[in-house]
Amino acid sequence: MLVAANKTWRQQETYSKPGWVTKPRLMTRATPQPIHRAMPRPAILFVCLGNICRSPMAEAAFRHEAARCGLELSVDSAGTGDWHVGKPPDPRAQAETLRHGLDISSYRARQINSRDFHEFTHILALDQSNLEDLHAIAPADAAAHLSLLLDHVERMEGQSVADPYFGDASGFEETWRQVTLAAQALAQKFRTL
């Protein structure tokens, strides 16, 4: 068998009738081609407990940063609990984001559901407890990658975003600072994909 330029000369494998001449034929071997799978459009879901403070702030910060960077992706937020479903974000969260030029008054709290684990490519928990809850409720065939939001920020890995709910306005400032850092880091990662 001769091999040249990804082609193989091989004796014809059919039988010859008497008096017929069997000639070699050119057999081509399929060249392994790189697999080009269509990369799904990134879809990011931010998840906290009630979806009225941290996760809507993270959603707003990331929407803003993604738009600034020209990224095309889907973004949403949800909570693991159902206490605030249908309600707008906490007025203090609205005030803090508005202070940075972003209006989240139209956002409405919702609870995460099993479809989210298939519709989103990345589900980002705002704290360790949320992440544990997500792992507990994720369907066995979940497609989404689960992680802590601050795992995407250098030197903040493993940390939780501060929960400002039981504090004053300064807590919302700190939450905004953290989710903004995370939004910038995430946008940079998605730009390189």
Radius of gyration from C-alpha coordinates of the chain: 27
What interhelical angle do 169-191 and 91-99 show, nearest 10? 60
**Residues annotated as part of the active site:** 48, 54, 163
Rounded Cα distance, 144 and 53, in Å: 23
Q: Which tokens is 135 given?
A: 């792992």
Pair of tokens at residue 90? 């906490």
Edge-to-edge order in the sheet of strand 74-79 = 74-79, 43-48, 122-125, 145-148
CA separation for the pair 182, 4 (Å, rounded):
53
What does the block give as tokens for 91?
């007025």
